[in-house]
Amino acid sequence: MGERALLVFPTPQLLCPAGLTMQVVLATPLSLRLDAIHPGGSAHLIEFPAPRTSPGLYGPVDSGQICTSFRAPVSAPDEPDALHSHPICALELAVEPSEGDTLSQARLWATLPLTVTNTTPEPREVSKIMLPTASLELYRHPTRDEIWTSTVHMRLLGPNEAEVAIEDGPAGGEAIAHSGRPAQTHEPRRAYTFLHAYRAKTGLEHGF
């Protein structure tokens, strides 16, 4: 997932009714690096950068944060297979094996479970989610041949402000090493707030 914070644009945008909670899963692009291990150490073979991502700016031009931004396909949590057939996942977030290869298709995305709770008296749109990658872990799903991320809980506090908390991944999932970090279970972190409806005129396609 890299070191930059992730600026996630749910596609389509989410609309959470007043006073209710909704659950979805999103596809998060991943990069893939292949190394060969040998007695003297290791040798880098090839790397596939995370597709469909671009630098994005969250916040004012003079003091904002550079993030990795992308549009994330959305599905219902009880239909995670729908992500596999989504055109973005099936055609643009996968590496097909070459003719004669014994390797299966490499999926360059992880499933991110998201819970959104609207604490306000009005329906609220969720057009973006900002997630620090240092708080996210990757897991092997216990029953599906998939990679999942930590679970994200988002509370809409007002027209613009949201609170985000990141918790463990799927129950029974095995934490795996990623982004140069060893595998580790998630350590509880303080929730943080951000402006989910922040807008500014910058001329940039992503980030605002």
pLDDT (tens digit per residue) in 107-144: 788 899 999 999 999 999 998 888 887 778 888 888 88
Q: Is the pLDDT of residue 204 over 60?
A: no
Note the pLDDT of residue 123.
94
Which tops the pLDDT comparison, 34 or 153? 153
59-111: per-residue pLDDT in tens? 777 777 888 888 899 998 888 678 877 777 766 666 665 565 555 556 788 89
pLDDT value of residue 82: 81
Residues 6+ apart with CB under 8 A from 91: none
